[in-house]
């Protein structure tokens, strides 16, 4: 007597639901991990020739030398001292900020942040 075994049926793994779950997780992490909007730095840099002082120009000149060091009226002052001097000086005068050779981009951004937060209006002049 011969006994036949029933054929062994291997069930296939259904990957359809696994793929759906992976795409749902991908979509979730793409939305949840949105990078913050980049901080925009608006610059209006004038040429040194266009920045020559005129008789009616109320702009005040200063040169950024390095980390919190600004040459202003034959003195080296910090950014906060410059803000105090500008507020005590001519009201409504614009600051013409020139970057010196020793000033890095980080020094410029830090000085611009302090000046902007203090309400000082300034122009950047392309410098050495």
pLDDT tens figures, 1-12: 677 887 877 777
The full set of domain ranges for the chain reads 45-50+58-125
Instruction: Provide the CA 89 distance to its chain's centre, in angstroms.
Output: 30
90: which 2 tokens?
Answer: 């001519």
Whole-model pTM: value is 0.54
> What digits encode the pLDDT tens for the residues 41-77?
555 555 455 545 554 556 788 888 888 889 988 889 9
Q: Are strands 122-125 and 45-46 parallel, antiparallel or unpaired?
A: parallel
> What digits encode the pLDDT tens for the residues 76-123?
999 888 888 888 876 677 888 888 888 888 888 888 888 888 888 888
Identify which has the larger pLDDT, 14 or 98. 98
Right CATH for 45-50+58-125 from 3.40.50.920, 3.10.20.30, 3.30.420.270, 1.10.3720.10: 3.30.420.270
Phi, psi of 24 (to 5 degrees): -65, -45
């Amino acid at each position: 007597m011969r006994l036949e075994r029933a054929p062994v049926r291997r069930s296939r793994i259904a990957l359809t639901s696994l793929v759906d779950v992976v795409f749902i997780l991908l979509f979730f992490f793409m939305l949840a991990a949105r990078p913050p909007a980049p901080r925009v730095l608006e610059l209006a840099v004038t040429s040194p020739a266009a920045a020559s002082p005129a008789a009616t120009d109320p702009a005040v000149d200063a040169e950024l030398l390095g980390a919190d060091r600004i040459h202003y009226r034959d003195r080296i002052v910090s950014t906060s001292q410059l803000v105090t001097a500008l507020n005590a000086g001519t009201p409504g005068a614009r600051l013409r900020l020139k970057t010196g050779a020793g000033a890095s981009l980080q020094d410029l951004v830090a000085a611009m942040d302090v000046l902007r937060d203090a309400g000082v209006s300034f122009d950047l002049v392309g410098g050495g």
